[in-house]
């Protein structure tokens, strides 16, 4: 069995989202124009600013997908939740 078939869909989706967030803003022909204007700003400026927010959204979706997949993987292996407090750890205020 190849290792490629063991890759979960969440990893592929996250990879595609990250590629979109990085590559599309770098494609100069998509934004090398002046029109249409938005609130007096040429297309070049508001398009680049739009990608700042879209990239943040895409990266956060990717992060949540991978975090969910990692929790599922750890639960399947019996390792528990990495963010859960340990049973033996002292709590705030405990001496």
pLDDT digit string, tens, across residues 33-70: 777 877 887 878 888 888 899 999 999 999 998 888 88
**CB burial string 83-95: b at 16+ within 10 A, e below:** eeeeeeeeeeeee
The pLDDT tens digits for 64-91 are 988 888 888 777 777 766 666 555 555 5
Q: Is 49 part of a structural domain of the chain?
A: yes
Q: Is 6 part of a structural domain of the chain?
A: no
Nearest 5°: phi and psi at 72?
Answer: -65, -45
| Entry pTM | 0.67
Number of domains in the chain: 1
The boundaries of the domain holding residue 62 are: 32-80
Mean pLDDT for 8-35 is 83
Q: Is 69 part of a structural domain of the chain?
A: yes
Q: Is 39 part of a structural domain of the chain?
A: yes
Q: Is 45 part of a structural domain of the chain?
A: yes
Q: Is 47 part of a structural domain of the chain?
A: yes
Task: Measure the CA–CA gap between 15 and 26, rounded to whole angstroms.
Answer: 17
């Amino acid at each position: 069995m190849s290792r490629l078939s063991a890759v979960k869909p969440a990893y592929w989706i996250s990879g595609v989202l990250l590629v979109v967030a990085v590559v599309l803003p770098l494609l100069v022909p998509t934004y090398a124009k002046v029109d249409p204007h938005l609130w007096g700003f040429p297309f070049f400026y508001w398009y680049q600013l739009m990608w700042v927010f879209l990239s943040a959204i895409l990266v956060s979706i990717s992060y949540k997908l991978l975090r969910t997949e990692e929790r599922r993987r750890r639960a399947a292996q019996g390792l528990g939740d990495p963010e859960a407090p340990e049973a033996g750890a002292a709590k705030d205020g405990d001496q």
